[in-house]
A = this chain, B = another copy of it.
Amino acid sequence: MRLTTKGRFAVTAMLDIALNEVTKPVTLAGISERQDISLSYLEQLFSRLRKQGLVSSVRGPGGGYRLAKPAAEISVSCIIAAVDELIDATQCGGTENCHDEGQCMTHDLWASLNVKILDYLSGVSLADLVDNQRKKEAGLPASAIQFSPRKTKISEICA
């Protein structure tokens, strides 16, 4: 399963576009500055995002990137899948040949975890993130995304 800064950067960058594309296309140089992500790295990520049809590009002065679809129609899972290739918590990538010829004993576990993660990320759209961010900036509590303050230290995970 792939949930790296690559995917995080991509989501952040897409959110930056969603927030700033009101008048003009958004340049990678702008995103780079605002979000503190290397320009060249962004170029690599956007090459994939464009190929997956998530953004459209305009070259030359005044150019940049726009969302190719309405923000409400772009899910987080979609963005991560575009840059990270495969969201998969199983060893085998769905081939079900994790151990010898058959499934490994924990295949079902990872497969169902996979579905859980995917379900969640599929349910969150860029529009949700925009909403959340706007509310945050206005000093309101975030609501679109259910935020839980629970910590994740080992001591708290194990009873």
Contacts and interface: CB of A to CB of B under 8 A. Distances in A.
A47 interface: no
Q: Contact size class for A? A: 35 or more
B152 A118 contact: yes
B152 A87 contact: yes
A116 to B, nearest CB: 5
A12 interface: yes
B82 A109 contact: no
A148 to B, nearest CB: 5
Q: How many copies altogether?
A: 2
Contact of A100 (B36, B76, B115): B36
Interface stretch (A21-29, A38-46, A56-64, A139-147): A139-147
Interface in A117-159: 117-118, 120-122, 124, 129, 132-133, 142, 145-154, 157-159
Interface of A: 1, 3, 5, 8, 11-12, 15-16, 35-36, 52, 73, 75-78, 81-82, 85-89, 91, 94, 99-100, 104-106, 108-118, 120-122, 124, 129, 132-133, 142, 145-154, 157-159
3 tightest Cβ-Cβ pairs between the two chains A and B: A78-B158, A108-B147, A115-B148
